[in-house]
Amino acid sequence: MLRGVGVSPGVAFAPALVVRWAFPEIPERTISPAEFDTEVARLHQAVQAVVDQLAALRLRTLQRAGPEAAGIFDAQIMMVQDGDFLAGVESLIRKNLLSAESAYEFKALDLRNTWQNARQSFLRDRLADLNAIQLRMLLHLLGRSADDAWLGEVQEPVVLVAHELSPGLTVQLDRDHVAGLISEEGTRTSHAAILAHSLGIPAVMGVAGALDRIADGTSVLLDGQTGQILLEPTPDEMEAARLQAVRRHRLEVQLESIATEPATTPDGASIVLQGNVDLPEEIEVALRHGAEGVGLLRTEFLITGRTSLPSEDEQTDYYRRVSAAFAGHPVVIRTYDLGGDKFPAAFVAPHEPNPFLGWRSIRVCLDQPEIFRPQLRAILRAAVDRHIWLMLPMVISLDELAESKALLAEEAAALRSAGTRAADDVPVGVMIETPAAVILADEFARAAAFLSVGSNDLTQYTLAVDRSNARLASRFAPLHPAVVRQLSQVREAAARAGIPASVCGEMASDPVAVVLLLGLGYTRLSTAPPAIPLVKWVVRNLPVTAAREAAALAVRATTTDEVHEVLRHALGRHVDLRLVDPSSALPRPSVGATLRRS
């Protein structure tokens, strides 16, 4: 059995079709000064040709998956037309006497390396888009056919296995011929994953070593919800998967029926379910799934891949658009979580051996107020007649909170003096992401308007485990007793101060962890938008009294396994665990089956 990240639900069974592609070899060719204009013209002809290809894909996507999915190709068109990037290619042509394809490859390789080495999942998710448009450009400049020409040869149902799936490839897949997708790269928020979900193709991404372990023609059974993959499944495993698919279908019907219902437990406790929004296209997804506002509006996409910072007006317009979409509900804007791989290209950032322990987040903003002040002004301007809260990431001291609030007050005064319509103030909260912040939780609670636990980083910093390190994946345990007890401390500190506390990390999307969070007293959870219906279903089936009993046991537990079992037991008394816990879905291969396959 292999395991990855389930990004598009459904069970698929078919022979594997392994697809391997690579960037083409570019022949070494120099040009004479007389050929400058010809090569530059070839470059821009290729740009127009690729734009035309992407526009055709956009239209196809609009027809098959709707405007939200089609917007993915608007972003790709902007990327291929990026003026700064193309100016760099032209400069290489003129100054280094390179052919258009050689210059483009050189510039593209530099940008791909930057994005490839990024730890931030958002940047890695967009890498597939970058690779796709650059491959199209190089193939056009070389006069070769597109890399998806082989699609017409697929006539029987297959499970497509690749290192990486581009949005352009995914949207062309025929559901009758492609039963499922497996890729080594990609996450739930990658564009290929979003398209696979829209097209109804079961998909599992982030499957390390898939190309080495799955041969052409291998029978593959994959579960696009749990991320489990069985190779050469036995009849018993096939039957188990069939039953699981039936259960899932029943669950989906239930989830649809409660989309507009409140997130209220059977014994009357009300829970606020909000959405985490990384990209503009996720706004509609969050709304469709009934999000009561945004618990974490990440703003890094405004700067990623750009050569300059966004203007104050640009930020203001975006914040207004998001808050208008969630009228009547709060939108929590996290200030720039800059650091390591998340700097605009024009920003001179230091090279650091461990950027997650370096100059990042609030440290950058306070050290570089020319970045921070325009964002604060934009938030204040957008907050007029809107329900906008401001959240500071990676705060570890009261001084950082005080300095941030002082800057906010200064900008509010400046806006008033200038006669600019803006809010006088907004609620300022703190993200609890480090043990230091947990220890100071009582002090932060007295000085802040709200607390929000970033469970991903809190787990990482508590356990000293890099959450992006695949080798340490089994040690990255959000239900570790040390994390559980800190979650309890934060909630108690907020309660003593009489302010709200929420959780906006991955834990809020995990049904088993939701038992703990409800039991500890968290009444605000912010999740990835697609997870909202499932979390609401759990809430509506789980009495808060049962959650409290389980949480009390979990806080006293001494091992991660013990915590997990306590929570699973409590949840299993009220819902079918096979529907919500990946470890209870597809069966693990029996010893006999393993021996037969060997």
Q: Do the strands 272-277 and 524-527 form a parallel or antiparallel pair, or are they unpaired?
A: parallel
Contact criterion met (CB below 8 Å) for 225 and 39: no
Expressed in percent and rounded to 5, the helix, strand and coil fractions of the chain are 55, 15, 35
Q: Can you say how many angstroms the Cα of residue 450 is from the centroid of all Cα atoms in its chain?
A: 24
From 277, 289, 304, select the one nearest 252 (Cα to Cα): 289
Q: Whole-angstrom Cα distance, residue 401 to residue 437?
A: 11
Strands 524-527 and 219-223: unpaired
Strands 428-432, 450-453: parallel, antiparallel or unpaired by DSSP?
A: parallel
Q: From the candidates 191, 197, 289, 564, which is the catalytic residue?
A: 191
The length of the chain, given as a count of residues: 598
Count CB neighbours of 595 within 10 A.
9
Task: Kindly report the number of other CB atoms within 10 A of residue 44's CB atom.
Answer: 14
Active-site hit among 197, 289, 504, 564: 504
CB 184 within 8 A of CB 163: yes
The residues pairing with 281 across neighbouring beta strands, listed in sequence order, are none
Amino acid at 509: S
Cα separation of 338 and 360, whole Å? 5
To the query of whether residue 480 is one of the catalytic residues in this protein, the response is no
91: enclosing H helix or E strand: helix 83-96
Alpha-carbon gap, residue 42 to 38, rounded angstroms = 6
Nearest alpha-carbon partner for 135 in 149, 125, 122, 124:
149
Alpha carbons 42 and 21: distance in angstroms, whole number: 25
CB atoms within 10 A of CB 213: 13
Q: Identify the burial level of 101 via C-beta atoms within 10 angstroms of its C-beta, where 0-12 means exposed, 13-18 middle and 19 or more buried.
A: buried
Please, how many CA atoms are within 13 Å of residue 597, restricted to the half-sphere of its CB? Answer: 14
Structure token pair of residue 368: 């570089």
Instruction: Look at strands 331-334 and 294-297 and give their pairing.
Output: parallel
Q: Is 197 a catalytic residue?
A: no
**What stretches of 321-407 adopt beta strand conformation (E)?**
331-334, 388-392
**Which residues are paired to 339 by β-bridges?**
360
Measure CA 196 to chain center: 15
> Edge-to-edge, what's the strand order for the sheet holding 5-8?
2-3, 228-231, 219-223, 11-19, 158-162, 178-183, 203-205, 5-8
Residue 98's beta-bridge partner residues?
A: 30
- What is the C-alpha to C-alpha distance for residues 442 and 496, in angstroms, rounded to an integer? 8
Query: What's the token pair of residue 120?
Result: 């931030």
Indicate which residues carry an active-site annotation.
191, 504
